[in-house]
Every structure is written in structure tokens, then in C-alpha cells.
Amino acid sequence: MLHKLLQPYQQYGNLHYGEGVTELAHALQAAHLAQEAGENESMIAAALLHDYGHLIHGLGENVAEWGVNANHEMVGANALEKWFPTCVTEPIRWHVEAKRYLCSTEMGYFDNLSPASVLSLQLQGGAMNPEELEEFSTLPFTKEAIRLRRYDDQSKSPSANPPDLLTYYPVLKSLLVK
């Protein structure tokens, strides 16, 4: 089952999607940061899989550069629902909204986004307005989505050397819903 889940990383993990690291390196760095921060297994898995939608949406590597919002967070969360509980899928579903939230609420957050994140932000609706901020705050897993967003933002280092995918098999296995 894990082989099927992780097959997109074997097939497309070497793609970049506008960042200076591959999708696989980005995923492994995010998972490692979550682990180092003392997160539980569901958040480590969410960090590892948060861009799963990029690997499976089938719209190509540079979709944001063409002005297309692939809604990768929804695509990924929906696909992962058959394998994982909501504590894994919902932070993933809302990690783009968390970026929009932080752009509105945290001084300096926008300035530190990667160029690719700035580009996609415009396609994703930009910084949240007051109504959107209120709505986002009432969602389940808002705090987890924000923490996931920070691991995401910090996982774009070309020189990082995180543990490999195999390291996370036990974590993923422990969370599988069937």
C-alpha cells in the first residue's frame, strides 16, 4: 500500500515546481523539520505529504508560471483521504490558506516567501481579507495548517541533507486508515 502511495515521489519527485529544490527534497526537509520540532506522527506525515497534489495533478511542472492555480492542496488532501485520517489531510488541505492568513497577520511574513510562493499567492487569492481571516480561524486544524506552512516555507534549502523517504515508512504505516 505504501508503495502505491509513494509511487508519485519515485516518478515525479525530481521535478522542481519553481523552487530551488526537488519535490522529494522539499518533502523530506519539511518532514525532518516537523520531527525536529517535536511534532506528533500525523504532523510529520502531513509535512512529508503536503505537496502530494503537485505530484499527481497532471498539469505539468511550471503550472503557476502559466498563470494556473492547480489547487494542489485540495487535490492532494482529497487523494490522501483514502489512506489517512483528517489530522493528516486537513492541515494539508489548508496550508495554502495558512499562507494567505500569515500574509495578513504577520509582519514580514510575505517578505520572506520564496519567489515561487509569491507567484502562486497571487493565483491563490493574495492576502486574506477580514472576513476570510475570521472564517479561517474557525476551521478545525487551523493551528496545524499554520505550523505546516512554516515547515513548508523553511524546506527549500538546496544544501540540506534530511533523512530519506524510507525513514518515514513506520510513521506513515502507523497512520494508515486501512
The residue whose Cβ lies closest to Fe ion is 152
CB 35 → Fe ion: shortest distance, Å?
A: 16
- Site residues for Fe ion per CB under 5 A: 51, 152
CB 99 → Fe ion: shortest distance, Å?
A: 10
Residues with Cβ within 8 Å of 50's Cβ and at least 6 positions away in sequence, in order, are 27, 30, 73, 76, 91, 92, 95, 148, 151, 152
Measured from the CB atom, is 60 or 129 closer to Fe ion? 60
CB 155 → Fe ion: shortest distance, Å?
A: 7
> How buried is 59 (Cβ within 10 angstroms: 0-12 exposed, 13-18 middle, 19+ buried)?
middle
CB 22 → Fe ion: shortest distance, Å?
A: 12
Q: Could you tell me which of 130, 135, 122 has the C-alpha nearest to residue 94?
A: 135
Measured from the CB atom, is 105 or 114 closer to Fe ion? 114
Measured from the CB atom, is 122 or 129 closer to Fe ion? 122
